[in-house]
Structure 1
Amino acid sequence: MAGGGEGPTLEFTPTWVVAVVCTVIVAISLAVERALHSGGKYLKKKKQKPLYEALLKVKEELMLLGFISLLLTVFQNRITKICVNPKIMDKWLPCKLHHDGHLDGKETAHYSATSVFGGIFGPTRRLLAAGAKAQEGYCGKKNKVPLLSVEAFHHLHIFIFVLAIVHVTFCALTIVFAGLKIRQWKQWEEENAKEISDVDEAQTKITHVQEHDFVKDHFWGIGKNYRVKGWLHSFLNQFYGSVCRSDYLTLRLGFISTHCRGNPKFDFYTYMVRALEDDFKRVVGISWYLWIFVVIFMLMNVDGWHAYFWIAFIPFFLLLAVGTKLQHVITQLAHEVAEKHIAVEGELIVQPSDKHFWFGKPKFVLFLIHLILFQNAFEMAFFFWIWIQYGFTSCIMGKVRYIVPRLVIGVFIQVLCSYSTLPLYAIVTQMGTKFKKAIFDEGIRSGLIGWAQKAKKRKASSVDGSGSTSGSSVGVQLGKVNQKTTTKG
């Protein structure tokens, strides 16, 4: 055994114990694998490719977790035998350490609990695992302490797994509840399609811009004071009725007039849902920069800093900023058309543009939402992990007056993101200069991809060798000459 040689090895363990444990572990693993496989088959049957790809992303994350777990297991013995001076283990502790080696009046059992963030060892050089002393271990013989205890390794294992599961679960809940909110827009889409069919194409109407519901809800005049009112209205509007019927129909018409001018009956709702599903598969994953945030957050969990209390405000303020910005994009679209026109012939049409978004990139909003959901999941995962692993009164949990606001903020973020921010993102980010690939259904997208691949192969074969390249150039020149001759004739 690593570190202290406690308990019998596999050589002296009953075979029936080994068989039973292996059977349970393999059975659970196979059950999870078959459940994911069945879910994938169901999504493919329902032609939900974006959600299927999101499921594949979850599988990738589970594989990454398995690899991390394997590395922790393989290097556990080596890392636990890295011995360091006891003095350097007295700094940057999650819990207050007294001079006698005890943690702020807690029992010895809490030593190993706090050691998950770096191995808390006192000046008396105790191994913080089951009360064993350092002198009895590998490092104790050298009058040193291990860099990280075996029990700390085990707890770190559990935390990484809990973090990934909570993140995936919270993302799934967010997309489900946002979908329920967006589903009411489908009725507006269907009603508008019937109105288009009933309208006489020969009949034209004059729309007074200032009297249009979309403009009345978002236009605040011209000038500095009105800009302040516009931002304030955008901030408050994200908390109630984030998208009304006039907003949806106006933004829909602006998108169709820019990208689908010849198809006024374009199903904007279906396209928007497909685009949201495409983006969901990115949000559900844990990117490399998010793991950097995890390391930084764990580093800052020092006694007296209350880092996790202050960190909870990062996703909170980011979410409010994103919601306000998305609402303000709608306000800017209303201002543009109201400042240019008094009355227009036909329907009111807004002009989508990337300039309304941060850095001219609508995709940057998706990055912020990804960051918000992950940070919130990290906060909640850390709380539940500490609560279940060590108890609510553990010193690493912190004081109640710091815990309650964190939980309230976490719930608030989850509700607001599902109810307002994500639905806003789904429709407002369609007001960029370019449309997304979800505008084509799966069959057309597959055909275009196949055509592009064949075109690349033909191009590669045409430039294969200098002789063929010159021949191709000659053919192009002959084609131009023939075209000119035909034109003159």
Structure 2
Amino acid sequence: MAGGGEGQSTINLEYTPTWVVACVCTLIVAISLAVERAIHYTGKYLKKTNQKPLFEALQKVKEELMLLGFISLLLTVFQGSIIKICVNEGVTRHLLPCKLPSKSDSGEHSSDNPETTSHIGRLLAEGSQVTGYCGAKNKVQLVSVEALHHLHIFIFVLAIVHVLFNVATVVIGGAKIRQWKHWEDSIGKENHDTEAALGPKITDVHQHDFIKGRFQGTGKNSTVLGWLHCFFKQFYGSVTKSDYLALRHGFIMTHCRGNPKFNFHKYMIRALEDDFKKVVGISWYLWIFVVIFLLLNVNGWHTYFWIAFIPFILLLAVGTKLEHVITQLAHEVADKHVAVEGELVVKPSDDHFWFHRPRIVLFLTHFILFQNAFEIAFFFWIWVQYGFDSCIMGQVRFIVPRLVVGVIIQVLCSYSTLPLYAIVTQMGSSFKKSIFDEHVQVGLVGWAQKVKEKTKLKAATNGSREGSSTDGSTVRIQLGRVTGKESGGDSAHK
């Protein structure tokens, strides 16, 4: 495809030097193989160190990279067809991210900036053939080659930034959670042979450190003050030692009473890693949000300025709610008891969470991390692709607050919200499968499969015996009943 303008032309592969083709191909293949090998050896290391949840998270990253590769392939293969889609000119003048320059503005800008003139001339040269194709129909292109290429880059940048931000959040938050390990270790040392020596003790509920911090403080008699206290509590000392010990003891007494030395900290880390593999990917509903946000990027709306506050507000709401769950657990005990025999025990329950579903917190955390990554990725993509002064970037007074909010979200989520999530979501009515070690999980799954196979075999044997003394229609009825019972048994077993 040839073009004029600045005397430049597009050179096909037929007239490109072979050494150029070979060098470019070598560079692309080398980078691809290096990334693939890095992922491969990282996976081997995670398997060797028995970090299955993190290994599965890595597999999720590979799936995202494969999806990006497929998107890239589709854009490349169908690029020629897409740019030949012609529409009426009026359709392309609505919902623009930048205001269309007038003829006088474009003329002044072109005369003052020779580089822009060269750039416009090159674009006209590259698109002259397709423009002529649509011009013959008195129409214009739906999307240009350059716009398609930039969109391609943005999707790739978004996915990479999302993965990196999630990894950074979990690494920093995990480091904070691992600081609690000395609390777990201190329990065994403090309580060693204490019960055998002293026997059962009586605990004054209202003098307990957990109750003092969560029940007798600010907001004891006021719901509004109580919520405000939870709001500010997430910024300092979100989880104290008394909180950890009380929640740990409540979990053990509810779900594994026969094992008082259960390592709650190790279980909590496994559960967090298990949830991380769900957060690291970009789900289908998040791609819908991407499309909506791109649609709303209209000149004068300052959409990305207002959107930046959505994850910030959600993050504050999630942190406040998690703190409030701990406070509710303290209130339940303090309202019912003055003194208890033995240690103070809180009662985990789904009723403390939104819509009685602790998993909603994971969904919101997923959305918050993705939305924050979207904001940062969009900023750097515009900066690199179009420059800081681009009209898409917006005014400085709108840019700086967005960046500040993004940094606050990343820090707050890593140091406060994620540790809160790790411990408070264990206060639901049921426990997670991570309560079992990996080899126990494998053994339970194998045992369940064997039981299921034996049940099917037994049902088939009983059905054949009954069928020998009945007609065909009766056989079908009996088999239906047996199958129904079997399905019910499996679900109940699960």
TM-score (structure 1 length as normaliser): 0.89
Q: For residues 252-305 of structure 1, what are the alpha-carbon distances to aligned partners after superposition, in whole Å with 9 as ceiling and x for unaligned?
A: 000000001011110000000000000000000000000000000000000000
Contact 1:206/1:346 (8 A) holds in 2: yes
Moved more, 18-27 or 461-470: 461-470
Q: Report the alpha carbon displacement of residue 469 of structure 1 after superposing the two structures with TM.
A: 6.9
Aligned residue number for residue 272 of structure 1: 268
Map residues 22-421 of structure 1 onto 2, 5 A cutoff: 22-100=25-103, 129=123, 137-201=132-196, 203-220=199-216, 225-421=221-417
Change (3 A) 1:306 1:38: same
Q: Kindly provide the amino acid, as one letter, of the partner of residue 398 in structure 2.
A: Y
Q: Report the alpha carbon displacement of residue 225 of structure 1 after superposing the two structures with TM.
A: 4.9
Q: Which runs of 5+ in 1 are unaligned?
A: 114-125, 474-489
SS of 2:340's equivalent in the other structure is strand
Q: Report the alpha carbon displacement of residue 313 of structure 1 after superposing the two structures with TM.
A: 0.7
Change (3 A) 1:265 1:98: same
Cα distance in 2 between the residues matched to 1:48 and 1:101: 63
Cα distance in 2 between the residues matched to 1:390 and 1:138: 28
Q: Kindly provide the amino acid, as one letter, of the partner of residue 345 in structure 1.
A: E
Change (3 A) 1:317 1:2: farther
Q: Report the alpha carbon displacement of residue 127 of structure 1 after superposing the two structures with TM.
A: 9.5
Contact 1:129/1:149 (8 A) holds in 2: no
Cα distance in 2 between the residues matched to 1:18 and 1:72: 22
Contact 1:329/1:356 (8 A) holds in 2: yes
Cα distance in 2 between the residues matched to 1:142 and 1:310: 41
Cα distance in 1 between the residues matched to 2:383 and 2:52: 38
Q: Kindly provide the amino acid, as one letter, of the partner of residue 75 in structure 2.
A: L
Q: 2:10 aligns with which of 7, 19, 27?
A: 7
Q: Alpha carbon RMSD of aligned pairs, Å?
A: 2.8
SS of 1:462's equivalent in the other structure is helix
Contact 1:220/1:229 (8 A) holds in 2: no
Change (3 A) 1:256 1:21: same
Number of equivalent positions: 462
Cα distance in 1 between the residues matched to 2:294 and 2:314: 21
Change (3 A) 1:131 1:315: farther
Q: Kindly provide the amino acid, as one letter, of the partner of residue 379 in structure 1.
A: E
Identity of aligned residues (%): 68
Q: Report the alpha carbon displacement of residue 461 of structure 1 after superposing the two structures with TM.
A: 2.6
Cα distance in 1 between the residues matched to 2:456 and 2:109: 71
Q: Report the alpha carbon displacement of residue 465 of structure 1 after superposing the two structures with TM.
A: 6.8
Q: Report the alpha carbon displacement of residue 70 of structure 1 after superposing the two structures with TM.
A: 0.7
Contact 1:177/1:419 (8 A) holds in 2: yes
Contact 2:85/2:141 (8 A) holds in 1: yes
Q: Which runs of 5+ in 2 are unaligned?
A: 468-477, 479-494
Contact 1:97/1:104 (8 A) holds in 2: no
Q: Report the alpha carbon displacement of residue 206 of structure 1 after superposing the two structures with TM.
A: 1.3
Q: Report the alpha carbon displacement of residue 194 of structure 1 after superposing the two structures with TM.
A: 1.4
Q: Kindly provide the amino acid, as one letter, of the partner of residue 61 in structure 1.
A: E
Q: For residues 428-451 of structure 1, what are the alpha-carbon distances to aligned partners after superposition, in whole Å with 9 as ceiling and x for unaligned?
A: 000000000000001100111111
